[in-house]
């Protein structure tokens, strides 16, 4: 089952506050969740964001997929950059460069096909120009 990091709406009518939760992708928005990893209050100026970075990194490392809004919040708190850095470092450690076998390739023989010389057409056999402009260009 896919695990997502998403927002769960709490608060009174027209006064939303959100919790950043880890939940199964098929569970309803405001009902079931696995763990609360943070809070997000949009009504404060500036917006209040409190995300536990260690828990978020642990869930991201296990394969939890953040929604677009949660990814923006993780970027704002700096957790997403830390995850991307550890992900790229881990990728370098796990995936060594493939070994390429060095083989010599025989060089192909050069093509020595001769091109016949072009013979010019004598002026007497050349076609006559159709207009006066063509005659001037031919004379030049």
Please, which residues have CB within 8 angstroms of residue 66's CB and are 6 or more apart in sequence?
4, 5, 6, 60, 74
CA distance 98 to 101: 10
Q: Residue 91 pLDDT > 70, yes or no? A: no
What is the residue whose two structure tokens read 């969740």?
33
The mean predicted confidence, pLDDT, of the chain is: 79
Q: Residue 45 pLDDT > 60, yes or no? A: yes
CATH number of 3-94: 3.30.1320.10
Delimit the domains of the chain by residue range. Answer: 3-94
Q: Comparing 22-26, 31-35, 114-118, which segment has the lowest mean pLDDT? A: 114-118
Q: For the segment 95-140, what is each residue's pLDDT rounded down to a tens digit? A: 455 566 666 666 666 767 777 777 776 766 666 666 656 555 655 5
CA distance 8 to 37: 11
* pLDDT at residue 93 in the model: 46
């Amino acid at each position: 089952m896919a695990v997502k990091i998403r927002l769960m709406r709490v608060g009174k009518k027209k006064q939303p506050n959100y919790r950043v939760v880890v939940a199964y992708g098929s569970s309803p928005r405001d009902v079931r969740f696995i763990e609360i990893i943070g809070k997000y209050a949009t009504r404060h100026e500036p917006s209040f964001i409190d995300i536990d970075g260690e828990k978020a990194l642990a869930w991201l490392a296990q394969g939890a997929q953040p929604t677009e809004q949660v990814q923006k919040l993780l970027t704002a708190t700096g957790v997403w950059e830390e995850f991307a850095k550890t992900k790229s470092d881990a990728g370098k450690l796990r995936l060594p460069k493939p070994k390429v076998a060095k083989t010599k390739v025989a060089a192909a023989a050069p093509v020595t096909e001769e091109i016949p010389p072009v013979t010019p057409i004598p002026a007497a056999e050349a076609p006559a120009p159709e207009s006066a402009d063509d005659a001037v260009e031919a004379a030049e």
